[in-house]
C-alpha cells in the first residue's frame, strides 16, 4: 500500500504560476485600514515558499511581462524583478512584449548581469526571429524536464502585435505564434512528452484558439498578456477530442496560481486548481522584504529623494484607468487627467494618448511619486529615468479624423481608442463610424493645423502603421511623468471623473447603469439652467481644489430635474 501511494503521488505534477507581474514588487492598490490592498511580491513569496515546502517538486512558471510598471524597473532595468524570481526558484519564464520595452540590447545585458538562463531557470519564446542578435543564445523555443519519470515539454510564445510596435525591438522580429505553436507541438510529441505545456504570452483569446484548433496538442496552457483573472480553468476540446486546460493568474502579484495534473491513468487530467489572493491576510516573507528594500534604496539613490514613502498629493476618489464597458462614455478618469496634464504642459490645442498606454488607477487617498508613476509607466528616458518624452506635433484636421477612424477599425477597437484633452468626439461601436469630432467645441476643419501633445511612442506607431507623420514637431525635454507630476501639484485635492469627452452612440444614457454618478464643479462652472435625468451628486470645490460642499439631487416624480444657477 505504501509503495502504491508513492507511485500515485509521483504521478502528480504541481505547478505554481504567475504572469504580468510588471515590477509590482512593492505593496500597491487601495488603502485598507492604513495599508495597501495587495502585499505584492513579498506576500507572493510567502505563498510560493509554503507551497514548495508542501510540494517539493512544484514547478514555478512565469508567463511573461515581469518588466515595466514601477520605478524599480527604470533604475535597475529588470535586474530587480529577475533577481527576485531567481530567489524563488523560477523554472520556466516566457519572454513577454514588455521585456523588450527598453530595447533588445538592454534585455540582453540585463540577462547577462543577472546570470540567466542558468541550470535552474530557462527562458522561452519559440516565435522570436533574432536576425543574428545574441539573445538567440539565451532564449530557447522549448524545454524538456523529467520529473519522477514523467517527461514534461514546455513551449514559450510571445505576442506579436504590441511587440512589433516597439521602436527599439530591431533587429529582432516576432513571427505568427500560431504556426510555431503547432510546429513545436509536433516536436514535443516526437520527443515522447507525457505532458505538453504551452507557456503563452498571447492572451486568453489566442490561448483558447490555439487549444481548440491544435490536434494532438497541448494538455495545459499557462497564459499571460491579457491580465485575466481565471478563477476556474477554461476547459477546451481540441480537434482530436482531447481536453486542454487554460489558466491565467491575473496581474501584479495580486494572485498566485496553483494547479496539479494527474497522469496516473496515462492521460493528463487536472485535479486541483486555485488562485490564491495575495491580500493583507498573507504575511510578508522577510527575506523578500529585505531584497525589495534594497531595490527601493537604489531608486532613492538614483532620484535623490524617497519616491515611495513621501506623499505628494491626495485623491478624494479613485481615478480609474479604464472606461466602463457598458457605458456610452469612453473617456476614463485617468485618461482625462493624463491628457489634461500633457496639454497643460505643452500649451497645445489638444492632447492624445492611447488608452492602453495609461497604467493603473490612482487610488483614493494619499499617493506618492511611485504611485503616480504607475499611472504612466511606459517608455524610458535615460536622462530622467522616467518615461516617454512628450512631443508637440502639428497635424491637419483631416489627419486627426483619419487617426480617429483608424482607432474605430473593428479589428483593433477599442485597443487604440485615443483618450483626449481639448478634443471631444462621438462614434458608434456598432457601425464603427465617427459621427462628430470637435476641438474646443468647434468641428474639426480638415485644412486647419492643430497643435497636439503626444509622445514619441504614439508618433512611432502612427508612422509604422498608417505612414502618418506630423507636418512638423518639436521634441521636448519633458517626460509624461514630470508633466503629470507638475500638473497634480496644482491641486490640494485631486478629483477626476468620466466627463463625456468620448461618447459611443451605440449606447444610450438610459442603458448606462452604474454607481450613482457625480458632477463636480469649480465655482460658477454652470451657467443658466441644468437639466438632469437621474439622481446625482454635485460636489463644489473652491479654487484650490478643496471640496467645500456636496449636494444630492433627485428627480421629482416622473419629471426631469432642473437646477438654476
Q: Give residue-wise pLDDT tens across range 274-306.
A: 999 999 999 999 999 999 999 999 999 999 999
pTM for the structure as a whole: 0.88
Query: How many degrees, rounded to 5, is the angle at CA 550 between CA 545 and CA 551?
Result: 145
C-alpha radius of gyration, the chain, whole number = 25
User: Residue 529 and residue 284: Cα distance in Å, rounded?
Assistant: 55
pLDDT by residue (tens digit) across 134-185? 999 999 999 999 998 999 999 999 999 777 778 888 999 999 999 999 999 9
User: Residue 269 and residue 473: Cα distance in Å, rounded?
Assistant: 58
- pLDDT in the model for residue 510: 54
C-alpha cell at 472: 512638423
User: Residue 519 and residue 372: Cα distance in Å, rounded?
Assistant: 24
Query: Among 57, 1, 19, 50, which Cα is nearest to 261's?
Result: 57
Interacting residues of 369 by C-beta distance below 8 A, sequence separation 6+: 71, 305, 307, 308, 310, 312, 485
State the DSSP H helix or E strand holding residue 86, giving kind and residue range, or none if neither.
Answer: helix 79-87
For the chain, give percent helix, strand, coil, nearest 5: 30, 30, 40
Query: Among 194, 204, 196, 158, which Cα is nearest to 64's?
Result: 158
DSSP string covering 88-154: TTEEEEEPPGGGGTT-HHHHHHHHHHHT-S-SS-EEE-SSEE-TT-GGGGTEESEEEEEETTEEEEE
| pLDDT < 50 regions, the chain | 1-9, 511-549, 551-565
- pLDDT in the model for residue 165: 74
Strands 442-443 and 529-532: unpaired
Amino acid at each position: 500500500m505504501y509503495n502504491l501511494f508513492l507511485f500515485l503521488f509521483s504521478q502528480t505534477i504541481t505547478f505554481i504560476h504567475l504572469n504580468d507581474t510588471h515590477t509590482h514588487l512593492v505593496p500597491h492598490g487601495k488603502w485598507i485600514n492604513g495599508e495597501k490592498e495587495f502585499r505584492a511580491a513579498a506576500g507572493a513569496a510567502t505563498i510560493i515558499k509554503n507551497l514548495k515546502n508542501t510540494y517539493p517538486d512544484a514547478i514555478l512558471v512565469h508567463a511573461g511581462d515581469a518588466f515595466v510598471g514601477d520605478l524599480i524597473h527604470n533604475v535597475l532595468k529588470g535586474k530587480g524583478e529577475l533577481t527576485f524570481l531567481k530567489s524563488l526558484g523560477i523554472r520556466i519564464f516566457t519572454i513577454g512584449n514588455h521585456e523588450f520595452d527598453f530595447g533588445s540590447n538592454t534585455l540582453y545585458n540585463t540577462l547577462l548581469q543577472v546570470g540567466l538562463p542558468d541550470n535552474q531557470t530557462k527562458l522561452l519564446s519559440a516565435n522570436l526571429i533574432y536576425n543574428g542578435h545574441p539573445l538567440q543564445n539565451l532564449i530557447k523555443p522549448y524545454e524538456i524536464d523529467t520529473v519522477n519519470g514523467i517527461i514534461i515539454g514546455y513551449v514559450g510564445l510571445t505576442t506579436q502585435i504590441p511587440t512589433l510596435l516597439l521602436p527599439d525591438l530591431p533587429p529582432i522580429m516576432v513571427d505568427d505564434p500560431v504556426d510555431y505553436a503547432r510546429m513545436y507541438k509536433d516536436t514535443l510529441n516526437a520527443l515522447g512528452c507525457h505532458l505538453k505545456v504551452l507557456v503563452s504570452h498571447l492572451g486568453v483569446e489566442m490561448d483558447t484558439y490555439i487549444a481548440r484548433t491544435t490536434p494532438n496538442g497541448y494538455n495545459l496552457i499557462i497564459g499571460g498578456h491579457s491580465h485575466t483573472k481565471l478563477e476556474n480553468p477554461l476547459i477546451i476540446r481540441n480537434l482530436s477530442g482531447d481536453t486542454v486546460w487554460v489558466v491565467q493568474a491575473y496581474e501584479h502579484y495580486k494572485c498566485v496560481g496553483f494547479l496539479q495534473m494527474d497522469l496516473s491513468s496515462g492521460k493528463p487530467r487536472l485535479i486541483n486548481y486555485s488562485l490564491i489572493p495575495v491580500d493583507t491576510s498573507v504575511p510578508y516573507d522577510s527575506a523578500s522584504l529585505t531584497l525589495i528594500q534594497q531595490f527601493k534604496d537604489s531608486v532613492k539613490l538614483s532620484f535623490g529623494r524617497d519616491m515611495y514613502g513621501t506623499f505628494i498629493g491626495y485623491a478624494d476618489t479613485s481615478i480609474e484607468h479604464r472606461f466602463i464597458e457598458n457605458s456610452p462614455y469612453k473617456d476614463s478618469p485617468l485618461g482625462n487627467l493624463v491628457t489634461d496634464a500633457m496639454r497643460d504642459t505643452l500649451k497645445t490645442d489638444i492632447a492624445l494618448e492611447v488608452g492602453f498606454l495609461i497604467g493603473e488607477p490612482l487610488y483614493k487617498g494619499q499617493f506618492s511619486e511611485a504611485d503616480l508613476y504607475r499611472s504612466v509607466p511606459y517608455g524610458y528616458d535615460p536622462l530622467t529615468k522616467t518615461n516617454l518624452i512628450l512631443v508637440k506635433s502639428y497635424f491637419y484636421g483631416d489627419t486627426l479624423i483619419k487617426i480617429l477612424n483608424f482607432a474605430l477599425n473593428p479589428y483593433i477597437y477599442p485597443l487604440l481608442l485615443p483618450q483626449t484633452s481639448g478634443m471631444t468626439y462621438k462614434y458608434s461601436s456598432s457601425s464603427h463610424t465617427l459621427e462628430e469630432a470637435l476641438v474646443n467645441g468647434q468641428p474639426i476643419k480638415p485644412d486647419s493645423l492643430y497643435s497636439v501633445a503626444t509622445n514619441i511612442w504614439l508618433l512611432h506607431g502612427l508612422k509604422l502603421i498608417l505612414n502618418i507623420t506630423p507636418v512638423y514637431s518639436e521634441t521636448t525635454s519633458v517626460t509624461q511623468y514630470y508633466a503629470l507630476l507638475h500638473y497634480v501639484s496644482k491641486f490640494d485635492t485631486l478629483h477626476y471623473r468620466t466627463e463625456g469627452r468620448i461618447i459611443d452612440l451605440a449606447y444610450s444614457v438610459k442603458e448606462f447603469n452604474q454607481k450613482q454618478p457625480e458632477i463636480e464643479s469649480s465655482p460658477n462652472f454652470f451657467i443658466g439652467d441644468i437639466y438632469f435625468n437621474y439622481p446625482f451628486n454635485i460636489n463644489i470645490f473652491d479654487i484650490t481644489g478643496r471640496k467645500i460642499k456636496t449636494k444630492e439631487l433627485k428627480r421629482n416624480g416622473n419629471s426631469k430635474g432642473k437646477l438654476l444657477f
